[in-house]
Amino acid sequence: MAETNESNYSEDSIKSLDWKEHIRLRPGMYIGKLGDGSSLDDGVYVLLKESIDNCIDEFVMGFGKKIEITIKDRMVKVRDYGRGIPLGKVVDVVSKINTGAKYDSVAFKKSVGLNGVGTKAVNALSSYFSVQSVRDGQIKSAEFTKGVLVKDEPVTETKDQRGTTVSFFADEEIFGNFKFLNDHVEKMLWNYAYLNTGLSIIFNGQTYKSERGLFDLLEQNISGEPLYPIIHLKGEDIEIAITHGNQYGEEYYSFVNGQHTTQGGTHQAALREAVVKVMRDFFKKDFDANDVRQSIIAAISVKVVEPVFESQTKTKLGSQNMAPDGAAIRTFVMDFLKKELDNFLHKNQEVSEAILQKILQSEKERKDLSGIRKLARERAKKVSLHNKKLRDCRVHYNSSHAGRLETTLFITEGDSASGSITKSRDVNAQAVFSLKGKPLNCYGLTKKIVYENEEFNLLQSALNIEDGLDNLRYNNIVIATDADVDGMHIRLLMITFFLQFFPDLVKNGHLYILQTPLFRVRNKKETVYCYSDDERKNAIARLGKNPEITRFKGLGEISPDEFKHFIGKDIRLEPVIFGRNDNLLQLLEFYMGKNTPDRQLFIIDNLKVEKDLVEELLS
């Protein structure tokens, strides 16, 4: 075999792809994972982000204070009022690799992207792509299909305002039946607004604008009241906002040159280290770092010349220096906080006292839990050795971007459901954690219960999230339960567990609900899986007279061969999303707290709706 391979290795084996062919063949190199739009890190949002980033760069350079975005029937249009692309280079900028103004560090000193790839990737991965530039009373337009130029309009006169417009429709050959979720788009646009005070972003008629930057970001994302007023510090090339809440864990929002670095990086690590250093020095006590950071909510934004990211999608900063002056990012953040945060604490005694009491409270809780945590870890280690609860996958979370994006943990109920998923899964990237019965309602309980309750302790261990999300072993945590009353209840109990003890996992978009079909409609030629009653009716109409109809009552009833369709490339995931105006504490109290008249009325009203739906399905 080796000889055959060697003899076949010739000049004909060497292939040269042009720019668009390479992007379409290896899209993951340019936009991360593909996905269908359920997750905020799916490729369609990267295409949107790349289109917006160029508009943001114009605003940062002082050109144009408004960006208009529309998404209708999955067609995206992004329009800025900046300088406009030089008319003679409009086609080149979107279709010639390594072409762009961002190589000129004088013109784009602290830009989001520097590699001249972003807009080309959007072009290559879209079935329709158009670009239009207006400068000095003239307009130039071009249209593409999958990166191929199909219409190159001549320059003509116009009365339109200057600026650039990009429109695209993502290619369904690559992204399948994709969608844009408004919640994900709005989250992205609010981040742009927080980081670019004074900029107006108009999305489908709604305006997103911030005047206080990261202060507004924290204020809008805190559940309940912070323990003390938000500390807001601004300097040249750096902005930081900090407070503490009542939640467990740590919550960070980090940005580089306007890019949301969801995986953190050197700047976020420096912030975590610097906060501990300042608190220890200010209070003159060698606190445990975890006690200082417990329940912290913080945001950091830095401006870096020619930043180095660990992936094309720029979710983790790899730069060590602020370049080109060579100043270390760690030292830069540390020096800024040592001066500004220390000054703030000296001037605001009530805030410093509140922080001290919070640290002491965290210290007491940690010491009270120390013995229990040790026993719980030993118990989890023994169980994992015998593989009783977790059927793991071969590829685990690691520092690589690809490894993180592709791993999934299914949380299932009962042996039959977990057995079906286990036999159907991709053993390389998909793991299964089996619940035994209904989990405990942990609303209002302390973290002590996580270690005392076997299932919670083992799940925490499987995810490796005891000390935060830095070493999270699975990017996607998927609750896979039956679509009946018991299954819905288990979903709610599991969501409560994560919100109670690991809210940052939910807020960072890692938690999903698996959607499985309710019906199978088939004849001798075709099988259609239906996820709603409307889909069932459409399938019956399409397949014709008297097709066979099966109602799936539980996951265990679906054979492993069929299950492969539902957890493979066509998997349907519903993200667990909470809007910026949702108060998580109030939601948990309403649904999972003590029974109240309001909740009784809610249940009665929804039972009526459920009864009507059941009667309709049976008719």
Within-domain flag for 372: no
Within-domain flag for 601: no
CATH number, domain of 501, equals 3.40.50.670
Within-domain flag for 608: no
- Boundaries of domain holding 288: 220-366
DSSP annotation of 155: P
Of 208, 243, 274, at which residue does a domain stop? 208
Taking each continuous run of H as one helix and of E as one strand, the counts in the chain are: 23, 23
State residue 126's pLDDT score.
96
CATH number, domain of 356, equals 3.30.230.10
Within-domain flag for 591: no
Is residue 534 located within the same domain as residue 491?
no
Of 177, 208, 239, at which residue does a domain stop? 208
**Cα-Cα-Cα-Cα dihedral sign, residues 263, 267, 271, 277:** positive
H or E element at residue 135: strand 126-135
State residue 2's pLDDT score.
46
Residues of the chain with pLDDT under 70: 1-17, 98-117, 309-314, 319, 322-327, 383-388, 396-405, 579-587, 590-591, 595-619
Is residue 81 located within the same domain as residue 200?
yes
Within-domain flag for 483: yes
CATH number, domain of 129, equals 3.30.565.10
Is residue 543 located within the same domain as residue 424?
no
- Name the burial class of residue 479, with classes exposed (0-12), middle (13-18) and buried (19+) by CB atoms within 10 angstroms of its CB: buried
- One-letter amino acid at 15 equals K
Number of domains in the chain: 4
Nearest to 25 by CA among 124, 140, 137: 124
What confidence tens digit (pLDDT) does each residue in 153-183 have?
999 999 999 999 999 999 999 999 899 999 9
Is residue 290 located within the same domain as residue 313?
yes
Rounded Cα gap, residues 604 and 595, in angstroms: 13
Rounded Cα gap, residues 206 and 213, in angstroms: 19
- One-letter amino acid at 508 equals N
Name every residue whose Cβ is closer than 8 Å to that of residue 470 and which is 6 or more positions away in sequence: 264
**Helix orientation angle between 597-618 and 584-592, rounded to the nearest 10 degrees:** 70
User: Within a 10 A sphere around the Cβ of 443, how many other Cβ atoms?
Assistant: 17
Prediction pTM value: 0.82
User: Within a 10 A sphere around the Cβ of 364, how many other Cβ atoms?
Assistant: 11
Within-domain flag for 230: yes
Is residue 38 located within the same domain as residue 187?
yes
Is residue 155 located within the same domain as residue 247?
no
What confidence tens digit (pLDDT) does each residue in 416-464 have?
778 889 999 999 999 999 998 889 998 888 889 999 998 899 999 999 9
Is residue 540 located within the same domain as residue 569?
no
Is residue 490 located within the same domain as residue 438?
yes
Rounded Cα gap, residues 502 and 481, in angstroms: 21
Give the position of tokens 């599991």: 494
Is residue 546 located within the same domain as residue 557?
no
Is residue 350 located within the same domain as residue 304?
yes
Within-domain flag for 35: yes
- One-letter amino acid at 370 equals S
Is residue 137 located within the same domain as residue 269?
no
State residue 226's pLDDT score.
93
- One-letter amino acid at 336 equals F
State residue 107's pLDDT score.
44
State residue 380's pLDDT score.
77
Rounded Cα gap, residues 64 and 59, in angstroms: 5
Is residue 152 located within the same domain as residue 242?
no
Within-domain flag for 101: yes
